[in-house]
Structure formats: C-alpha cells, structure tokens
Amino acid sequence: MSKAVFSLEPLTCPSCIKKIEKALLGTPGVEEAKVLFHSGKVRIAFQEQQVSPDELSDLLNRLGYPVLTMKLS
C-alpha cells in the first residue's frame, strides 16, 4: 500500500471535508482518506496498482481543490 499527502489551498468550510473524503473513498484502490481541515492537507492510503497519485491529484483538482504539493511514501 502506498501513502500520499496532498497540500491544498486553505479549506473554508467543514462540508469540504465530507465532499473530498466521499469522492476519494469512492475511488477504486483508495483504502483510507483523511482531510486535515486546519492544515489544508489530505492523507490518502491507496493501492498503486489500481490508482495513481496523479489520478488522485486530478480528482482533487476536478472537485475544485487545487493541489499545491504532493508527497509520496
């Protein structure tokens, strides 16, 4: 399992958390998704055979949350 942390622009509303987590958890290959509201970060655990970090970044961008940085581990 791979892990990634995406830094986003500051989040402005708590409902953003549900929107992001629901979209990510509905993506095949995503095992865990946690939005850290105050730091504007999203932690994701995923199976890289099913979904790539770039696809996850694209999903966040399409949801309206531009990705500033991405760290993989």
Residue ranges in the chain modelled with pLDDT below 70: none
The predicted structure's pLDDT at residue 44: 98
pTM: 0.93
Render 4-70 in DSSP notation, one character per residue.
Answer: EEEEESPP--THHHHHHHHHHHTSTTEEEEEEETTTTEEEEEE-TTT--HHHHHHHHHHTT--EEEE
The predicted structure's pLDDT at residue 17: 93
